[in-house]
Structure formats: structure tokens, C-alpha cells
Amino acid sequence: MSGAMTKPSEELVVLGIETSCDETAAAVVSGAGKICSDLVLSQLDEHRPYGGVVPEIAARSHMDHIDRLVGEAMAGAGLTYAELDGIAATAGPGLIGGVFVGVMTAKAIALAWEKPFLAVNHLEGHALSVRLSDAIDFPYLLLLVSGGHCQLLAVEGVGRYRRLGGTIDDALGEAFDKTAKLLGLGYPGGPAVEQAASKGDPAAFDLPRPMLGRPGLDFSFSGLKTAVRHAADKAGVLAGAGVLAGAGDDGGHDQTRADLAASFQAAAGDILAERCAKALALFEKDYGTPGPLVVAGGVAANRSLRARLESVAATAGSRLVAPPPKLCTDNAAMIAWAGVERLGLGLVDPLDFAARPRWPLESLSAGG
Amino acid sequence: MPSASALPLRLPLPDLEATERLGRALAAILRPGDVVALYGDLGAGKTALARALIRALPGPEGAAEEEVPSPTFTLVQVYERDPAPVWHFDLYRIEDPAEVHELGLSEALGEGITLIEWPERLGGLLPAEALSLTLSYGDEGARAACLDGAGDWPQRLAELRS
């Protein structure tokens, strides 16, 4: 385990592996912020027929692909294992079978090539990804919004995360997916709702804004989802009730669906905007600086929500920073980068580190 | 009086609070090894009921404040509780029933109290002795619950009738 720590951190090169949920992914990233290779299985050409629609939750599926994907990531980076400074893998939170495959693969490479092993928290990967794309300094306010997560965090440093609020029921990405399902808009739900909403009237339906105006910084989206269902049912556009989306002239149903999608998106935007405005005020009080506000996770790709957050940040004298969409969805480049950051601080993990299906971000410690 | 314990048991749930009350009442009668299959459309209140049930069971320090998020994306969440750990599954995204083995279903059935949303996805893998709980829509936000199960469920559910 020698060599790495004597190098300046910009020169570190780390292989990252991500298998904690639906995606099998491998990437090589340098300490200077260069993404040498970045592969996500569902985005490879031969998997395009499936479009990443089928979740690859089975550990066996990760196992079938991870060796080849790691080999291709190394070839794409033009590096040998001997030239790496560390091997990082998502060690949780996530499905234990998938996480185990990634962790075992990383440990095997680390052991064979006598390289440091870095156990990365998947959420820390998301939290630090903005420093790979935009090289911003600590501290910053992070809104992490994806299919499985919705939380506000003060990112004080590597391994130092303070949770300011989170969802008490559904994640926002889940609400988008379920709204798409209720309206028969297709999959993936986020882009489908956004596209339908672009042709709709956001004031057409009066939907609730749960938690708005309440103290604290928590979110709730379950009631909004139920309200969408109720409105869709009343308006006769509930999917599966004899109504087929996109079937051409259907007596204005397409417009109704677009209006409902737009109204849902507006409600989600109002909730995010109000919570982020409050969080920015709290952040400035606690840290003496108004942000920046960073938005990460798959939902960050939504342009309408992004525009809302930009204006919230501007009003607070802050600015919005969002990593590019490829870094916002699940990927291995962010895991490799978190590995670079931890390795630079000497935060190496032992080879007997056990995968953790549940692993809250605020339980991490930066060590020394 | 055999009719007093005959199933299915149908309960009106006028509001969310009633759904949560049912969750808490179920928590009081569940035992290690029990399986509750939660049926119902999107938004019917399955996760809300599961959340109330999990929160009603005693656990380690901080358990009462512990978040009980929807497991739709994580597929399963495990909670340390008494008298047994609670495994909360959401099989909404499952395509192939065999995939549930990856999620630890056999461990759950062996040691825990198992709550399963979208149990339809399990096909024939759903244990025969599971309690089936179906939530359906009524008027203006109201729901109705329908509980059914073999074995000793008729006796155990009798006290929910009051």
C-alpha cells in the first residue's frame, strides 16, 4: 500500500465501481478532475434495445458484467492496474447482493495489485460529484433529489455532512415516476412528465403543496401523488381506466394529461423552491456564506425545476451549480472521484470492510 | 359465535388517520414469522399503513424518530424492532419473482415480520399463511380495508373488530 500518499493529490488516479442499485458501472478518474473513462452498462450500445428500463437488481447480473466493464474502463483510460493509485467501490447504501459484487471486485484488484481500497458511500459520491465537474470549495448546500432520495445537506468537507432535512415519505423522483404511471406517460417517468408538462398549463389543476410553510426543512410528496391520482380519475385520464395515452385524437385527453403533468411539476417546483430558500437562509446564518446551492441526483436533469432553483439561488444572493446530467444519474465516475478525495486525505479502508445496506451519510467521519 | 371471527374482515377508513390507526392496531398483534401482503393501487395508503405499523413497534434508542421512507427504489428496508426485525418490501419494480431472493426474502421470512407491497409480483412465492390486506378507494379521500388470511388469522383479527 505504498506510493499513493507521497503523490500530490492532483496526480492520483482511481478506478471506481458502482453496483449498488440498477446500474453496473466502472470509471477511471484523476485527481486533476479528468474523467479518463466512464462506462454505464445500460448506456452501452448492445444494451440500448432495453434502454435501461429493466432494473438490473440481481447480483448475478452485476457479476456477469462487472469484470468486462472494469477491463473496458481500464482500456478506455489507457492504463494498467499497476498505474492506479487506488480502487474505489460503492460499499452502501443499496441492495446488499449488488454492493457485495462491486466491493469484492474492488478488493480483489486492490489485493492483487497491492493498491489502497476505498469504500465509498453512494450518497457521498453524489455529494462530491460537483467538485469533479465544477471544482467548487467547501462548504456548500446540497439538494440531493433522485428516485430513492430527497434530502438537503450542508457539505462541510469530505466525510462531513450535516443533514438539514429530508423526505418523510416518497422521494421526488419516485413521485415523478408514479405520476407518469398514473397518467400513462411511459418510462422513465421524469423525462416523460417533463415533456408532457412543456405542453400543459401549470395552473390548470389546483394540487396541494405538502409541508409548504411548515417549520423545518423536511419534504413530503406522498399526498401530492395521491392528489394527482384523484385529479386524473376525476378528469377521466387515469391510466388503465380505458384511456390510452398517445392514441391520437382522444377528445382532449392528451391536453388534460399535459395540464396535469404541468400542474404536478409546478407543485413540486414550489415545494423545492420554498424549502431551498429556507435552507439557504439557514446555511448563510450557520456558515457565513450564501451557498452555493448544488443540486445533484437524477431529478436535477429537469429543466423546469432547475430554472426554479436558479431563481431561488439568485434571490438569496447565491448561485445554483448542477453537475452535468451524466454525473447526476448513477455512475462510477462520482465513486472514483470520491475515492480520489478520500485517498488524498489518507482515508483508506481495510480489506475486511463490510458492505453496508443501510449507511446514513451523516454517520460518516473524515477521520484524522 | 363463529361469525364473530369470520373473514374477510372489511373496515372503513374515512381518512389517513384511520389508515394509520389500522397500522398501529396490526403492530400490536404481529409475531415473528408473520407476513402481511399489502395490496392496493398507487396512492391507496400502503406505505402510510406500513409506516404507522413500523413506528408503533418498540425499537432501539432513536427508533421512534427513525424515518420510514418509501422502499419503492431501494426495494427493501429493514428496521430493528421488537419482537422481531421488520422487513419492508416494495416489489413495484420487480419483473421476475425469482429476483426477490436477491432481496433477502428468505431471511425475512425466517426471522422477521415481513410487510410486502405489490405482493402480486411474487407469484406463487407468497407464503400461504400470509395475511392479505387490500386497500381500496372510496369517496373523497376515504379508503376501505379488506383483511383475509388462513390459519389462526380469523382469531387474531377478531380484536380489530371493536
Domain that holds residue B29: 23-114
**CB neighbours (10 Å) of residue A354?**
10
> What is the model's pLDDT at position B162?
63
Residue with cell 391507496: B44
B59 against B26, higher pLDDT: B26
B49 touching A, CB under 8 A? Answer: no
B149 inside domain: no
Q: Using the beta-carbon criterion (under 8 Å), do A358 and B78 form an inter-chain contact?
A: yes
Closest CA to A1 of A57, A85, A79: A85
Closest-CA residue of B relative to A179 is B42
B134 inside domain: no
> What is the model's pLDDT at position A57?
62
pLDDT digit string, tens, across residues B19-42: 999 999 999 999 999 999 999 998
Q: What percent of chain B has pLDDT over 70?
A: 96
A171 touching B, CB under 8 A? Answer: yes
B121 inside domain: no
Closest CA to A304 of A272, A280, A345: A272
Q: Are A324 and A130 in contact (CB under 8 A)?
A: no
B2 inside domain: no
Q: Using the beta-carbon criterion (under 8 Å), do B102 and A97 form an inter-chain contact?
A: yes
pLDDT digit string, tens, across residues A24-33: 999 999 999 9
pLDDT digit string, tens, across residues A223-252: 999 999 999 999 999 987 544 555 454 678
A9 against A131, higher pLDDT: A131
Closest CA to B139 of A65, A78, A230, A175: A230
Count of domains forming chain B: 1
B126 inside domain: no
Q: What 3-state DSSP class applies to A293?
A: strand
Would you call A92 exposed, middle or buried from its count of C-beta atoms within 10 A (0-12, 13-18, 19+)? buried
Residue B33 and residue B153: Cα distance in Å, rounded?
Answer: 13
Cβ neighbors of A83 (< 8 A, separation 6 or more) are A13
Instruction: Please give the model's pTM, rounded to 2 decimal places.
Output: 0.87
**One-letter amino acid for residue A260 of the chain:** L
Rg (CA), chain A: 21
Q: Are B12 and B142 in contact (CB under 8 A)?
A: yes
Q: How many CB pairs under 8 A join A and B?
A: 75
Closest CA to A127 of A325, A332, A338: A338
Q: Using the beta-carbon criterion (under 8 Å), do A182 and B42 form an inter-chain contact?
A: yes
Grid cell in block for residue B135: 386497500
ipTM over 0.90: no
Q: Are A30 and A10 in contact (CB under 8 A)?
A: yes
B3 inside domain: no
**CB neighbours (10 Å) of residue A282?**
16
What CATH number does the domain containing B65 carry?
3.40.50.300
B85 inside domain: yes
